[in-house]
Amino acid sequence: MEVVIAPAPELARIAADAVERLLRARPTAVLGLATGSSPLAVYDELVRRHTEQGLSFAHARAFMLDEYVGLAADHPERYRNVIEKEIASRVDFAPGAVQGPDGLAQDVTGACADYERAIADAGGVDLQILGIGTDGHVAFNEPGSSLASRTRIKTLTRQTREDNARFFGGDVDQVPTHCLTQGLATIMAARHLVLLATGRGKAEAVHQLAEGPVSAMWPATVLQHHPHVTVLVDDAAASRLQLADYYRETYAAKPGWQGL
Ligand SMILES: N[C@@H]1[C@@H](O)[C@H](O)[C@@H](COP(=O)(O)O)O[C@@H]1O
């Protein structure tokens, strides 16, 4: 696991560099897209490179991490609509190239299995962008999630619903109680994981992720078993890291050609 500590705007550039390097080398790459506020600056930077420098997504595909259950098709906080607004509609993905779990499916189990199959049929995710919840969840894999889980329905914790109430006018009762989410094993199958976290509120989760014991109580700790993880954090999110100085020195001495 590589931990990079830098100011937030630089983190977005570093993540965008990884996406750009991948797309230029393999235009048919499969991206994994996350919602939440953490990746927004990355999406803005990718849109800028698309507009100003011709970075193209025309032959790429993308899979979303998760979706609320039961939000109407036109609800602005439905993750499918959020991803459309924040990135998909702002670059040149082909129609149908961005997919997400179907939070309105009648057959939930079938929809989850279909989603797993769609990811596998696309050849798997090359680069997965991730955020992290204050309780250490990734996608919507809440504490207690099986480290071997696949796409399924989950119940959101009170903490996550309170954290996300800001997107629902501050009213926690408007936040859905259930979601469909890629499982931890689904996420672990992606070839490169790029996780972004900023702000002091994420400091404990980031410490557990990088330095805690692997445990379902902090689901993101499963990433310690992945061979290619990049954790991009600002000073505040890094404030509880025991090895922060080592991570800083390592990144400062890293040759530029190495990439992430
Ligand atoms: N399902 C999403 C996660 O994918 C995201 O990582 C997390 C953190 O969000 P933020 O980046 O807004 O802090 O929020 C939600 O729960």
pLDDT band at 260 (very low <50, low <70, confident <90, very high): confident
Query: Of ligand 1's atoms, which has the minimum distance to the CA of residue 199?
Result: 13
Whole-number pLDDT of residue 258: 84
Ligand 1 site, residue 198, Cβ cutoff 6 A: no
Residue nearest to atom 8 of ligand 1 (CA): 133
Q: What is the mean pLDDT of the chain?
A: 97
Whole-number pLDDT of residue 10: 97
- How many Å apart are CA 162 and CA 172, to the nearest integer? 6
- How many Å apart are CA 150 and CA 67, to the nearest integer? 14
- How many Å apart are CA 6 and CA 17, to the nearest integer? 15
- CATH no. of 2-240: 3.40.50.1360
Half-sphere exposure of 68 (CA within 13 A, CB side): 25
Q: What is the mean pLDDT of residues 15-22?
A: 97
Q: In 3D, which of 170, 67, 146, 56 has the Cα closest to residue 112?
A: 67
Q: What is the mean pLDDT of residues 76-89?
A: 98
ipTM of the complex: 0.95
Strands 66-68 and 178-181: antiparallel
Q: What is the pLDDT of residues 191-204, one digit of tens each?
A: 999 999 999 999 99
CB atoms within 10 A of CB 43: 23
Q: What is the pLDDT of residues 93-146, one digit of tens each?
A: 999 999 999 999 999 999 999 999 999 999 999 999 999 999 999 999 999 999
Residue ranges covered by each domain of the chain: 2-240
Which residues have CB under 8 Å from 13's CB, separation 6+?
Answer: 45
Ligand 1 site, residue 140, Cβ cutoff 6 A: yes
Q: Which of 33, 64, 137, 154 should be mutated for ligand 1, with most atoms under 8 A from CB? A: 137
Whole-number pLDDT of residue 254: 93
